[in-house]
Amino acid sequence: MQLIDGKSLSKKIQNSIKIEVEELKEKRNIVPGLAVILVGDDPASYAYVSMKERACKSVGFYSITHKMPESINQSEIVEIISMMNRNPHIHGILIQLPLPKHIDTAQILEVIDPKKDVDGFHAYNVGRMVTNLDSFVPCTPLGVMEMFREYNIELEGRDVVVVGASNIVGKPMASLLLNANATVTVTHIYTKDLAHHTKNADIVIVGVGKPNLITEDMVKEGAVVIDIGINRLNDGSLVGDVDFENLSKKCSYITPVPGGVGPMTIAMLLSNTLKSAKQFGEEM
């Protein structure tokens, strides 16, 4: 079994980004800028945003967080996004999800300029990703693809099961795998017999937020397991969606939680923002 070390890979990518940022600033006087919209006071959201702020600072980005009360209305958020769309110093706009229930999330995401949609959630970028055209790709699935590249894990012709069909992870993950010529099965809450699908898979990718959903008897010997889930137990410890201790004994590759996919999500957000800054610079 080989551990897929997302923490080390993320650090490697961020070091590379830092060098590119310095060159971009020196040669073209451009500093990549990321704006985050944070609505409400959810502790997990605050923690994620703080991590993003620290990562931006470490690579030399300009970053700003718009913190808004839970009671804010739809039009006020739209107005702030529109302002950031026009700001030439902002190259990436990120909406920290989930938004309060009274806010129409789909409409909010559509307001973002697709050229600044570094989360890859705008329908324009989703369509381009599905058709294998250059686009901004959601950060978590993109991070998983980087892991496959780094560890030389072949995808073409492999049988892959994606557990979870969210717009943020499952669906874009399946699209990227299809683009890489894998044979993909997507399972979800209505799938009748999950183990029937996972047992025969060469690669299992799971991200649903349910501890120990995937157990040792549900995967074959030598499978690759990518655990995107993150769950906090009553004792305060963080675990993924798979039974890591037992699964690791029969997998060829497996990601830990924490220290696996999580750090890669941050690295890809930085990578997408840098990409946007370069494109904006070329258009000027």
Residue 283 clears pLDDT 70, i.e. is over it:
no
Residue 217: active-site member? no
Give the position of tokens 């990549």: 32
Structural domain boundaries in the chain:
29-115, 139-262
Tens of pLDDT, residue by residue over 96-137, are 999 999 999 999 999 999 999 999 999 999 999 999 999 999
> For residues 44 and 76, which has the higher predicted lDDT (pLDDT)?
76
DSSP conformational letter for 2: E
Of residues 52, 115, 116, 171, which has the active-site annotation?
52
Instruction: Flag whether pLDDT at 255 surpasses 70.
Output: yes
139-262 belongs to which CATH class? alpha beta
* pLDDT at residue 281, rounded to an integer: 60
Confidence (pLDDT) at 284: 47
Query: What is the percentage of the chain residues whose pLDDT exceeds 70?
Result: 99
pTM: 0.95
Question: Is the pLDDT score of 82 beyond 60?
Answer: yes
Strand, helix or coil at 184?
strand
Of 96, 116, 171, 243, the active-site residue reads 96
Average pLDDT of the chain to the nearest whole number: 95
Q: Is 52 a catalytic residue?
A: yes
Burial string for 125-139 (b: 16+ CB within 10 Å, else e) reads bbebbbeeeebbbbb
- Measured CA to CA, the distance from residue 51 to residue 58 in angstroms comes to 11
Q: Do domains 29-115 and 139-262 have the same CATH topology?
A: yes
Q: How far is CA 251 from CA 100, 161, 178, 199, 242, in A?
A: 39, 15, 23, 12, 12
Tell me: the pLDDT tens digits for 166-205? 999 999 999 999 999 999 999 999 999 999 999 999 999 9
Given pLDDT bands bounded at 50, 70 and 90, which one contains residue 77?
A: very high
The pLDDT assigned to 282 comes to 66
What is the SS3 assignment for 284?
coil
Q: What is the mean pLDDT of residues 84-94?
A: 97
**Which residues, 6 or more positions from 225, have their beta carbon under 8 angstroms from its beta carbon?**
203, 204, 205, 206, 214, 219, 242, 247, 251, 253, 254, 255
Rg, Å, the chain Cα set: 19
Mean pLDDT value of segment 230-239: 88
Q: How many Cβ atoms are within 10 Å of 2's Cβ, its own excluded?
A: 12
pLDDT tens readout for residues 3-20: 999 999 999 999 999 999
pLDDT of residue 280: 83
pLDDT of residue 42: 83
119 belongs to the catalytic site: yes
Given the residues 119, 227, 241, 243, the one annotated as active site: 119
pLDDT computed for residue 44 by the predictor: 81
Mean of the pLDDT values across residues 49-68?
95
What does CATH list as the number for 29-115?
3.40.50.10860
